[in-house]
Amino acid sequence: MSQRLLIVDDNKMLAENICEFLRDEGYDVHIATNPEDALNLPCFDGYVLDVRMPGLDGWSLRQRLVERCDCARFVLMTAFQDPSHRPAGETLNPLPKPIPFDRLLDQLQS
C-alpha cells in the first residue's frame, strides 16, 4: 500500500504542484491549505509543511502533529532561509522554496 502524505501550504498552486510530483512518484497525496485542517484529519505517514502560514506556522504545526502522530515523517519548506526564523533548539533545516524534488524525495525516504 502506498504511503499517505499531507501537504500543508496556504499557497494552493504550489501545494498542487508538489502534489502532482509526489503522485507521479507513487504516493497517496492530500492537500490542506489551512494548518488547522491538518490537525482535524487522521494521521498521515508523512507531512510536507510550509513554515510561514497565517495562524499556525509550520514549526508549531509540526509540534502539535508530533504529539498525535509520533511515527510520521516531516519535511519543512520555506523561502526564508536564515536561522533566525528557526525556533531555538530546532536542528532541522527546512528545504528552500522552490522545493528541489530530488531533496524532497531524499528526506521522505531517509
Partner 1 sequence: MSGAPANSGQQVLIVEDNEALAENLAELLEPLHVNTRIAGTAGECERALQEVEPAVAIVDVSLPDASGLDVLRTLKTAVKDVEVVFVTGHGSLATAMDAIALGAFGYLLKPVDPEGFAQLVERALSAVSLRAERKQLARALSASETLHRTVVDSVDACVLGLRDSGAIVMANRTGRRLFGDALEGTPFSSLFEGDETIDEKLARCASGEATEGWVTQHGERLIRWSLTRVDEEPGSPDQVAVGTDITEQEALRKSAAEKEALAAVGVLTAGLAHEIRNPLNAAQLQLQLLARRSESDDVKGRVAVVRDELGRLSSLLDEFLGLARQGSRAEAHLRANDLFDAVIALEAPLCDEHGIQVASEPNDVAFFGESAGLHQALINLVKNAREALQEGGNILLRAATDGDHVVLSVLDDGPGPDTGSAFEPFHTTKAAGTGLGLSVVRKVAEAHGGGASLEAGHEGGAVATIRFPLRKG
Distance CA 74, CA 65 (A): 10
Distance CA 27, CA 110 (A): 15
Q: Which one among 11, 43, 63, 87 touches partner 1, defined by CB under 8 A?
A: 11
Residue 22-41 contact track with partner 1, rule CB under 8 A, x = bound: --x-----------------
Q: 28-32 and 95-96 as β-strands: parallel, antiparallel, unpaired? A: unpaired
- Position of cell 509520533? 70
CB of 25 to partner 1, least distance (A): 9
Q: Which residues bind partner 1 (CB under 8 A)?
A: 11, 13-14, 17-18, 20-21, 24, 79-84, 86, 93, 96-103
